[in-house]
Structure 1
Amino acid sequence: MDGDGVACGDESDGRAPGPGPGGATALLGKLSAAGTGQALEAYGWAKLFAPLGVEQFHWTAGDDGVASPASGLRLTPRDLAQPVEQGSDRRRAHRTVLRS
């Protein structure tokens, strides 16, 4: 881990030094928070989870108290299925309109 909590590869594991797969997600989380002026949880709720009908979620935080965008999101099975259900409903509605 580097000083910002971003996972880094080292040459002993055969990868070039630098952010690992979670590092890019962590960077996007930091950029989102900085660009919106909102914590990741607040922005995620307003722009993603509430519009999808997700009723509850939890984002675990690192030692610094900041939500972990790479691996910290927790959803109930029902809330995890919401986007899939909504997509099915939209496809079904679209087919109905086309048949009318």
Structure 2
Amino acid sequence: MSETQKSQKLLELHNQMFISPQNFSYRWGLGYEELAKICSISKSTTYHWLGGQASRRAAGLPYQRIMAVADFLLANTEVIQPLLEQWHQSQPPN
């Protein structure tokens, strides 16, 4: 398999990654505030995702994908943390 094909397969798998806010927050013991930081949204929005039935809103697929990627990173932290630190050090300063 060529590098291009490997990259395409990886992107296809990424595009199939989704997790609900309820499952993600329960799995990692996160509240509204932490979830808001991960998704770069307001606490109010995450409140509506996790709140009671009367105020419940569905999270859009892009946010479910963000949570799925975060779930993958957290579940594989032993392997990924050194790689992320290496990547961060190679980035130009803001």
Pairwise same-fold verdict (TM > 0.5):
no
Select the structure with the greater relative contact order (CA < 8 A; seq sep ≥ 6): 2
CA radius of gyration, larger in? 1
TM-score by length of 1: 0.31
**Which structure has greater strand proportion?**
1
**Which structure has greater helix proportion?**
2
